[in-house]
């Protein structure tokens, strides 16, 4: 199986890339700076920007599914996550590809009450544009014809996989810290054995 990966240069995306290779998956990763991803057997790096439909097409072509771990990066607009996702979904439809897994965040959309008070304040101030962008991304995924899964992690940190992170689809959870490795593992579980088709699942 081959994964088209968007956002694989850092954070959860880099964890997905590394763990996918370890588990025997092929990966095509889009990167504005290809040198940011080390040469690795099983990984093909496509140079380009997610806002360029041609680059997205080259990344998705020949893959079996798409994983989106996009975030705001320097030099891209505040709407890069939703705009990029829109382009990815259009390209997927052209290529007849249906499966997409996207990493969003707890606090987005109907999960606003699942985060602590201090994070709610951040969502209304410094993170306002980021959260609106992710909310729009989720809306695009749900409105699409794709077999989507949205993963909403709590507060992310770098650390080893713990095997203690909880998951669920209800809104009766309060976000706590979760390692990027745990989130990546959930992504790859959905790659290999989809459980949450057309569902939004939290991990924290």
Q: Is the pLDDT of residue 14 over 90?
A: yes
Task: Specify the pTM.
Answer: 0.95
- Name, in order, each residue with C-beta under 8 angstroms of 65's C-beta and a sequence gap of 6 or more: 1, 3, 4, 97, 99, 100, 101, 191
* HSE value, Cβ hemisphere, 13 Å, CA-based, for 87: 19
Question: How far apart (Å, rounded) are the C-alpha atoms in residues 24 and 119?
Answer: 37
Residue 2, pLDDT > 80, answer yes
Render the burial of 164-174: b for 16+ CB within 10 Å, e for the rest: ebebeeeeebe
The pLDDT score that the predictor gives to residue 64 is: 98
Q: Is the pLDDT of residue 191 over 80?
A: yes
Return the residue matching tokens 């990493």: 103
Map tokens 């459980």 to a residue. Answer: 195
Q: Report pLDDT digits (tens) over 117-164.
A: 777 777 778 789 999 999 999 999 999 999 999 999 999 999 888 878
pLDDT of residue 95: 98
- How high is the pLDDT of residue 75? 77
List the domain boundaries for the chain.
Answer: 2-203
User: What digits encode the pLDDT tens for the residues 164-177?
Assistant: 899 999 999 999 99
Tokens coding 135 = 């909310």
Residue 100: per-residue pLDDT: 98
- CB proximity list for 106: less than 8 A, separation 6 or greater: 114, 115, 152, 153, 154, 173, 175, 202, 204
Which pLDDT value is given to residue 30?
A: 98
Query: Is there a contact between 19 and 69 (Cβ–Cβ < 8 Å)?
Result: no
Distance between CA 43 and CA 20 in Å, rounded?
Answer: 10
* Per-residue pLDDT tens over the stretch 36-89: 999 999 999 999 999 999 999 999 999 999 999 999 887 788 999 999 999 999
2-203: CATH topology: Rossmann fold (3.40.50)
Strands 2-6 and 65-68: parallel
């Amino acid at each position: 199986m081959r994964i088209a990966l968007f956002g694989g240069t850092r954070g959860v995306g880099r964890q997905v890339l590394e763990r996918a290779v370890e588990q025997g998956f092929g990966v095509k990763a889009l990167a504005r700076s290809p040198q940011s991803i080390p040469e690795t057997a099983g990984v093909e790096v496509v140079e380009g920007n997610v806002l360029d439909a041609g680059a997205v097409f080259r990344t998705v072509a020949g893959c079996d599914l798409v994983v989106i771990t996009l975030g705001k990066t320097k030099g891209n607009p505040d709407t890069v996550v939703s705009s990029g996702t829109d382009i990815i979904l259009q390209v997927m439809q052209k290529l007849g590809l249906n499966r997409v897994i996207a990493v969003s965040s707890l606090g987005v959309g109907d999960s606003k009450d699942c985060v602590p008070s201090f994070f709610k304040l951040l969502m209304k101030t410094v993170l306002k544009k980021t959260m609106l962008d992710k909310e729009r991304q989720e809306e695009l995924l749900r409105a699409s014809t794709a077999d989507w899964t949205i993963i909403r992690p709590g507060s992310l940190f770098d650390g080893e996989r713990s095997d203690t992170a909880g998951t669920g689809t209800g809104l009766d959870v309060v976000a706590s810290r979760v390692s990027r490795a745990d989130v990546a593992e959930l992504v790859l579980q959905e790659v290999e054995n989809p459980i949450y088709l057309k569902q939004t699942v939290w991990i924290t």
